[in-house]
Structure 1
Amino acid sequence: MCLSLKAAAHNHLRELVVLRRVRDRIDRECAAPLDIETLAGTAGLPVAQFVRRFRDAYGLSPQEYRQAAEARIENWSTR
């Protein structure tokens, strides 16, 4: 594998780890208001880039993901 491809793959995996941490934070704090600037800062990305990368990784924007997390919790608690 070419060195630049290896570096790109490493950077991509590192970014996915950071996005996973943000996603876990959204899951833990889904009842709290979503501060997109803080989440983007946690990921070390500008807001627009963070939202794009999050959507690329999870298929939902951070706001949509939080709403889905709230719905999962609500459905689970009504069982």
Structure 2
Amino acid sequence: MCLSLAAAARKHLAELALLRRVRDRLDRESPLDVETLAREVDLPVALFVRRFQDAYGLSPHEYRRAAEAIRNREARPAPAKVA
């Protein structure tokens, strides 16, 4: 593997780690604005959104909405069983 390819791979893995940290933060905290999240990973907003979507298949906003929907579903009490 050439040196520049190895460096690019290391940079990509580091970026994925930062995106995972942002994703975890989206799971825990709400609301978060995209500008703050992009600053956290040191990327311009448009590039951050594109990279997040490439990594997780959803934009940060779509991911947050999906995570909230899952939390709301899990928070609902189970229906009572009728005997």
For the residues of structure 2 that align with 1:34 and 1:61, how far apart are their CA atoms? 13
Greater Cα radius of gyration, structure 1 or 2: 2
What's the counterpart of residue 34 of structure 2? 36
CA RMSD of aligned residues (A): 0.8
Q: Does the residue aligned with 2:32 lie in a helix, a strand or coil?
A: coil
Gaps of 5+ in 2: 79-83
What's the counterpart of residue 70 of structure 1? 68
Task: Report if the CA contact (8 A) 1:34-1:63 is conserved.
Answer: no
Instruction: Return the letter of the residue paired with 1:44.
Output: D
For the residues of structure 1 that align with 2:68 and 2:32, how far apart are their CA atoms? 12
Task: Report if the CA contact (8 A) 1:18-1:43 is conserved.
Answer: yes
Which of the two has greater helix per residue? 1
Instruction: Return the letter of the residue paired with 2:3.
Output: L
TM-score by length of 1: 0.93
Q: CA deviation at 1:33?
A: 2.1
Count of aligned pairs: 77
**CA deviation profile, 1:4-35 (whole Å, cap 9, x unmatched):** 11001000000000000000000001xx2231
